Structure 1
Amino acid sequence: MSNKQEEERSPLQENLITRLHAIKEQGQFRQVIPLSHTDKGCITIDDKQFLNLAGNDYLGLATNRNLHHEFFTGLNEDTILSSYGMGSTASRLMTGNTNPYATLEKHLKELYATESALVFNSGYHINIGILPALAEKKDLILADKLCHASLIDGMRLSRAKVIRYPHLDYEAIERILRTERSAYRHVYIVTESIFSMDGDEADLVKLVDLKNRYTCTLYVDEAHGVGIRGARGCGLAEEQGIQNEIELLTGTFGKAYGGQGAFVVCTKQMADFLLNTARSQIFTTGLPPISVHWLCFIIEKIPHLQEQRRTVACLAEQLRQELAQQDLRTHGTSNIVPVMIGDSNLAMNIAENMAAYGFWVKAVRPPTVPANTSRLRLSINAAMEWSQLAPLPQHIAKALREHA
C-alpha cells in the first residue's frame, strides 16, 4: 500500500486493520476456501483430495450420488416448478409457502407423532426466532453454558432474564429453580442434546423430570441428534424414551439430512404462535421448492438408515480408542470426536499438519469455544471406512510432540 493510500484511510478502516491484526495475533483469523465434495466422505481442494473431518454430513446423504440420481429422476414438466423451482418468491406468509412445505411438515408430524411441526430456513433462524417470540420480561431462561452461539443469540434477543448453568450440571439447575422459580411467570430450560463442540450428551430424562417438578418448558436443540440417533433417526430424545415429553424439540436438515433448513415439533397452538410471532420466520424468504422437496424425499428414508447409524457409532468409538492409545485427550460419546489441544496457534499448526497427510481437519478456537480449550473437531460420517481414519491418531500425536 502506498503512503498516499495510508494517509487516505478512514478512521473505520484504521479500526478494522487494528482489530483484524488482533484476531490474527490471537490465532483466530478465518477464511473460506473453495472446494468440491467427492465420494467416501472426501473433498477436493486445488485438485488435491482430503478426508473431510470438518463437515456435518453425518449419514453421507449430501454427497450420495445414487440418492441424487434417484431424486432427480422425478424431474418432469409437471414437477419442474412445483417441486424443483429455484426460488420461492416470498416469505412463507406471502407466496413462499410452496406445496412441498405441507408435505414435509406432514412427514415430520408422523415421524415424531406430534400435533404439529414448523419448518424454518436454518438452525440459526430457528434459534434466534423461538426464544425472542416466547420469553418475556417476567420469564427466566436457564441454559447450559455450552449451548451453541445461535441459542445464545436467541437468548440475547429475548426480554427474559438469562442464567447459564454449568455444563450438564443438573444439581445446579435444581438449586436455581428451588430459589428462583417462584419469582418468574415462565421458565425455559434450554439445552442441546448432543453438544456440537464437545460431542457429549445431555441427560434429557433428568431435564424432563426437573421441568415437570418445577413447571418449566423444555427446549431441546437436536441439531446433532436428528437422523443420526434413535431407532428411527428422531434423535437423542427418541433414544432416551422421552421424545413426546419435550415442549420444544428442534432439529436441523443441514447436517444428517444432507439438506437445508430446520424444524420444531410441538403442539399446534405453539406452531401457530411461532408462525405469527417469530421474526426470523416471518421476515425471510421461504426455502426454494427444490430444497424442501429434497427433504420430503429424504425424510421417508431416515427411519430405515439403521445400518448407517451403526456404522457411524462404531467408527467414532474406534477412533476414540485409538486416540486414547496415543495419549491424546478426547471425550464425548457421539460421532463428534474432539481432540483437546488448548492453545489456539498450536491447534492451528496441528490442523495444517493434518492437511499434509490428506486429512481436512479444522481447529476450533475461541470465541466458538472457551479460552484455552482450542481443539480439533473430528466429525465422522457413514460414507467413511476405518482404513481411511486409521492413520490419523498417530499423525496427530506426532504433530503435537513436534509443535508442543
Structure 2
Amino acid sequence: MPVKRYEKDLEKIINNNSYRILRETVKYGKNLVYQGKKYLNLSSNDYLGISSDFEIWNSFIKNKIINKNNFTGSNSSSRLLTGNSEHYTQLEDYLAGLYKSEAALVFNSGYHANIGILPALTTKNDLIINDKFVHASIIDGIRLSEAKVICYRHNDLEQLAEILSKKRHFYENVFIVTESIFSMDGDIADLKKLVSLKNKYTAFLYADEAHAIGVMGNRGLGVCEELNLVSQIDFIIGTFGKAVASQGAFVICNNVFRNYLVNKMRSLIFTTSLPPINLEWTYYVLHLVIKMQDQRNHLKHISEYFRNKILSLGFESNGSSQIIPLIVGENSKCIKFSEYLQDNGIFILPVRPPTVPEGTSRLRFSLTANINISEIDNIIRLLKKY
C-alpha cells in the first residue's frame, strides 16, 4: 500500500513539534478530567459555563422531552427534502426577532456556514476583501468561491480603504469579510469603521461573530449589538457551538439573501439537517443566554484582570476579550510551557502553526464565566514561577 509519503509527512510534523492528537476528556463544570487527572479547563469555548451545567440540561430534559415528547434524534433528510421541521422554523423566527432582521438561516455548524455562504453569493465578477486573520473556515469558503480575493493586513483598515478606493469600480459586488472577535488573538474588529467603509464604497459586510455570541452585547447578540450596528451589517454569522453550548450556526440577513442561499448554498443543500432535539436545545438555551448579563459582566471583569496581570509580568499578549493569548514563539517552548501548567492542574494546550503564523506559537487562555478571581490568581502565581 503506497503510504510512504504520508508516513514521511507525519515524521516531519512530529519533528517540527506540530503533531496533534485527539484527547478523551470528561467535563465537570469549569473542570475536566484527562487520563484520570482533574484540571481547571482553560481551553474551552464554553464562555457562559452552560455546556457542563447539568442543572440546565436536566431542566431541559424534564420540561422539553419528558413532558412534550414531540421530537426525535434525527431528521434523516436534508432540509430541502423532508428535514425542515417545525423546530427549524421556531428557531429561525426567534433569531430573526432577536436581531430585528428580515430573516435568519440555520446551518449544521460554523464551518458549514463559512464554507458555503461566500461561494454561493459570489461570481468571477465580484471581489472578496478579507482580514488576514479570519478563521480557517472562512478561508476555505473564499477558496471555493470564483471571486477575486485580496487580503488586507490584520485590522489595518487604512489598507482596506486603499484597496477599496483602487479596486471597487472594477467589480460588480464587493464583500468585506472579518471576524468580530478574532479567535486566536482575542482582539476586536473596528466594526464601526468597517460599516463606514462598506457604506462609502457600496460593499457588503460579512462579520463572523462566533466568539462574540453570548459574550458581547446586552443580550449576548455580539459586538454588532454592543455597538448598535445590527441593522447595518449585511451578514452576521453566529455559532451555537461555543457560548450557546449546542451545535449549529446561523446567518442574519435579508429575505432575498436567505432565499438565494437556500437555492444556491451547497453546504446547506447537500447535508442531512440537524436533529430536532438539537434545535429544541438551542432554542431553549438561547432564552437563557439573553438574560445572562451578570455572567457576561463577570467574564469581562476577570478577562481584563487576567490580561493586565499577564502584561505586568512582561509577557506578550493582546486583545480585549475573553480570549487571552500568551505569545511564546517557538513550538517546542510553547509545548514545554503548556506541559508545566498541565503539571500544575491547568488544562491549556499549545496553539501552533498552521493555526497561527510561524514564530507565534501561543498559549490561548479561553476564560469562562464560572472561573473566579482566586483561580486566576493561582494561574498568575504559576506564570510568575515559570
Shift of 1:374: 0.5
Counterparts of 1:195 and 1:140, CA distance in 2? 22
| 1:144 maps to which of 123, 131, 150 | 131
Among 311, 325, 333, which residue is 1:338 paired with?
A: 325
In the alignment, the residues of structure 2 paired with residue 351 and residue 154 of structure 1 have an alpha-carbon distance, to the nearest angstrom, of 32
Q: What's the Cα RMSD here?
A: 1.1
CA distance, structure 2, for counterparts of residue 217 and residue 236 of structure 1: 17
Q: Which residue of 2 aligns with 1:268?
A: 255
**2:98 maps to what in 1?**
111
Per the alignment, residue 315 of structure 1 pairs with: 302
Q: For 1:203 and 1:282, how far apart are their aligned partners in 2? A: 33
The alpha carbon displacement at 1:389 in A equals: 2.2
Conservation of the 8 A alpha-carbon contact between 1:328 and 1:397: no
Q: Which residue of 2 aligns with 1:51?
A: 40
- Gapped regions of structure 2 (runs ≥ 5): none
One-letter identity of the residue aligned with 2:288: K
Whether the 8 Å contact between 1:139 and 1:185 is mirrored in structure 2 is yes
- In the other structure, the counterpart of 2:28 is 38
- Identity %, equivalent residues: 42
How far residue 95 of structure 1 moved from its aligned partner, in angstroms, is 1.4
1:251 counterpart = 2:235: no
Post-superposition offset of 1:62: 0.7
Partner Cα separation in structure 2 for residue 133 and residue 76 of structure 1: 37
Residue matched to 1:18: 8
What's the CA shift for 1:75? Answer: 4.5
TM-score (norm 2): 0.98
Give how far 1:131 is off: 0.5
Measured in 1, the distance between the counterparts of 2:82 and 2:28 equals 36
Task: Please state how far the C-alpha of 1:65 moved relative to its aligned partner.
Answer: 1.6
Q: Deviations over 1:34-88 (max 9, x none)?
A: 111102x1111122111111110000111112111111112556733x33x1111
Residue in 1 that maps onto 2:202: 215
Contact preservation (8 Å) 1:62, 1:258: yes
Distance (Å, rounded) in 2 between the aligned partners of 1:77 and 1:145: 48
Residue 278 of structure 1 is matched in structure 2 by 265
Distance in 2 between the 1:22 and 1:79 partners? Answer: 54
Offset from partner CA, 1:158-192 (integer Å, 9 cap, x none)? 00011010000111011011111111110000000
Task: Report the secondary structure of 1:107's partner residue.
Answer: helix
Contact (CA 8 Å) 1:58, 1:255: kept in 2 or not? yes
Distance in 1 (CA, whole Å) between partners of 2:18 and 2:346 is 20
CA contact (8 A) 1:366 1:374 kept: yes
Which secondary structure state, in structure 1, belongs to the residue aligned with residue 80 of structure 2?
Answer: helix
**1:75 & 1:294 partners in 2: Cα distance?**
9
Report 1:76-155 matches (<5 A): 79-80=68-69, 82-83=70-71, 85-155=72-142
Give the C-alpha shift of residue 353 in structure 1: 1.1
- Which position in structure 2 is the counterpart of 1:368? 355
Deviations 1:76-127 (A, max 9, x none): 56733x33x1111111111111221111101101110000000000000000
Q: Which has the larger radius of gyration?
A: 1
What's 1:289 paired with?
A: 276
Unpaired segments ≥5 residues, structure 1: 1-9, 400-404
Report deviation, 1:384. Answer: 1.3
List, as ranges, runs of 4+ consecutive aligned residues in structure 1 with deviation greater than 4 Å: 75-78
- Partners of 2:48 and 2:82 in 1: CA distance: 33
Q: Paired residue for 1:241?
A: 228
Matched, 1:358 2:345: yes
Deviation at residue 325 of structure 1 after TM alignment: 2.5
| Mapped partners of 1:149, 1:396: distance in 2 | 30
1:6 maps to: none
